[in-house]
Structure 1
Amino acid sequence: MRVLPSGDAAVLAELADLDEVLALHAALDAPPAGVLDVVPAARTVLVSFDPAAVPGDAVVRWVQAARPVAGARPEAGELEVPVVYDGEDLADVAAALGCSPAEVVARHTGTVWTVAFCGFAPGFGYATAADGDWAIPRRSTPRTRVPAGSVALAGEFSSVYPRESPGGWQLVGRTDLAMFDVDRDPAALLRPGVRVRFRDAG
C-alpha cells in the first residue's frame, strides 16, 4: 500500500486490488476528528480531511496504521431490490455463463452482493458477489440510452442504473425502486458496504 497526498485536504491509498480496498475501507471505520470522508474505488481509497482540524501527516499515519483483515468488508445495512428479469441481454449473459436464462436469475438472486464503491453517476454502486464467477463482458457497442432502474452486469459487478444514461453494461432486468433521490436521506440506496439481495419479482 502506498499513501500519497492528494491536494491539501486528502490522502490517497493505492492498493493492489479490490479485495485490499474493501479490507482497508472496513479497517478505517472509526475515523479520528477532522477526517471528513473515506471513499473507496476499484484500486484506491481516498481520505478527505479538514486541514484546520487535523494535519495531513497525522491522517497518513492513521491510514498506514490500519490493520486490514483479509476478506473483511465494510457494513452499511441491507437492501432488497425487486427485479423483473426481462432484460434485453439476459440471453447473452446466459450464453457467457454457459447456462440458461432461468439459471442466471437463480444465481443472481441466490447470492448476496456487497457494494464495493460508487461511481459513473450519483447512486451507481458497483456490487460484487459473495460467491460465483461473474466475468460478464461489457457490450461491444454501448447503448446511448439505458432506462433508469435497469439492473445490469459487467465484469465482476452488478448494479442498477439510477437514472437514464448511456451505458455498456449487460441488461438483465429492471426495478421500480428509486436508487437515487436527493430529497431522501440517504439519497443513494447503493452505498459502499450495503449488502444487496436481488429478488425475482416476476
Structure 2
Amino acid sequence: MIEYIPSGDSAFLVKFGNEISEEINRKVRAYFIALSNKKLEGIIECVPSYTDLMVLYDPLKIQYKSLLKELKILAENISEIEIPEAKTVEIPVCYGGNFGEDMDAVIAHTGLREQEIIEKHSQNSYLVYMLGFTPGFCYLGGMDKSIATPRKEVPSQKILAGSVGLAAEQTGIYPIESPGGWQIIGRTPYRLFDPNRKPEFLLQAGDYLKFYPISEEEYYKLNEND
C-alpha cells in the first residue's frame, strides 16, 4: 500500500514500503518516471531513495489537495510504466596496501584472508538504489554479508576520491574527497563525479555496478582522480 505523507507545507513523501528490496525500488523508479513524464505545473523536484520518493512543489502553483489527487491517480498505472533497461558499469579497484588503509580492520573483524575479501567483494553485481550524501555517492545493494564490517568508531577527516569502503552490510565509493566513517578497502581510478563531463555522474539510480580487481600499475595508468 502506497502512503502519501505531507512533509512541511511544500513536499510529499510517497512511500512504497519499509524494506530495501529491488521490487520496491523498481516501483519508486517507475513512479519517478511517470511523474517526470506528467510534467505537472508546480513540481519543483523529485528525489528518489531506497523505498520513497520525495516530491517538492510550489504551493502557490498547485494546492495540496490537487497534488494529492494527481499523485494517487498516477499510482494506479505505475505497473505499466516501462523502466529503461539497466546498464552494468564495471569499476576497477586496487585493493589493500596503500589504497585500502582499513583492510586489516576488515580482516580482523571478518576472520577472512585479504584475497577472500577481495573475491567476495568483487563477485557480485550491485544495484545502484540511489545517489546521495555527496555528489555521485552510490547507495548499493547486494553485498556478501560475510564481509560486513561496522563503521569506524572515529571517522577519518580525509577520505580520498575513488576510495571504496564498507559500512555494516553496505559498500560504496567516495566520489569526492571528504570526511567519512566507512572502512576503506581499496580505491578506483575512475572519477564518479565530474562537473565538466556530460553526464556529470558515471552511475545513475537503476544501474548495476561490478567491481573488478586491478594492480597498482594498472591503477596509475587509468587514474582520473588527480
TMscore range, shorter length? 0.7 to 0.9
Rounded to whole Å, the distance in 1 between the matches of 2:131 and 2:85 is 15
Correspondent of 2:25 among 19, 22, 29: 22
Give the structure 2 partner of residue 33 of structure 1: 38
The size of the alignment, in residue pairs, is: 197
Give the structure 1 partner of residue 144 of structure 2: 132
Contact 1:16 1:43 in 2 (8 A): yes
Whether 1:85 aligns to 2:95 is yes
Q: Which has the larger radius of gyration?
A: 2
**Residues 146 and 169 of structure 1: is their aligned pair in 2 closer, same or farther, counting only changes over 3 Å?**
same
Q: Superposition RMSD on alpha carbons, in Å?
A: 2.8
Counterpart secondary structure, 1:91: helix
Contact 2:162 2:174 in 1 (8 A): yes
* Deviates most, 15-24 or 105-114: 15-24
* Deviates most, 49-58 or 20-29: 49-58
Correspondent of 2:156 among 143, 150, 153: 143
Rounded to whole Å, the distance in 2 between the matches of 1:66 and 1:94 is 48
- Following superposition, the deviation at residue 158 of structure 1 comes to 1.4
* Deviates most, 43-52 or 25-34: 43-52
Rounded to whole Å, the distance in 1 between the matches of 2:106 and 2:74 is 39
C-alpha offsets along residues 89-133 of structure 1, whole Å, 9 cap, x if unaligned? Answer: 11222333331110111011110011111221111111111x631
Identity of aligned residues (%): 34
Give ranges in structure 2 of 5+ residues lacking alignment. 216-226
Q: TM-score, normalised by structure 1?
A: 0.82
Correspondent of 1:65 among 50, 73, 76: 76
* Deviates most, 49-58 or 169-178: 49-58
Give the partner amino acid of 1:189.
L
- Following superposition, the deviation at residue 64 of structure 1 comes to 4.2
**Residues 63 and 151 of structure 1: is their aligned pair in 2 closer, same or farther, counting only changes over 3 Å?**
farther
Give the number of the structure whose residues are more often helix, by fraction.
Answer: 2
- Following superposition, the deviation at residue 169 of structure 1 comes to 0.2
- Following superposition, the deviation at residue 157 of structure 1 comes to 1.7
Rounded to whole Å, the distance in 1 between the matches of 2:70 and 2:163 is 39
Give the partner amino acid of 1:18.
I
- Following superposition, the deviation at residue 148 of structure 1 comes to 0.8
Give the partner amino acid of 2:88.
E
Rounded to whole Å, the distance in 1 between the matches of 2:77 and 2:168 is 29
Give the structure 2 partner of residue 160 of structure 1: 173
Contact 1:34 1:50 in 2 (8 A): no
**Residues 156 and 65 of structure 1: is their aligned pair in 2 closer, same or farther, counting only changes over 3 Å?**
farther
Q: TM-score, normalised by structure 2?
A: 0.75
Rounded to whole Å, the distance in 2 between the matches of 1:63 and 1:164 is 40
Contact 1:76 1:192 in 2 (8 A): no
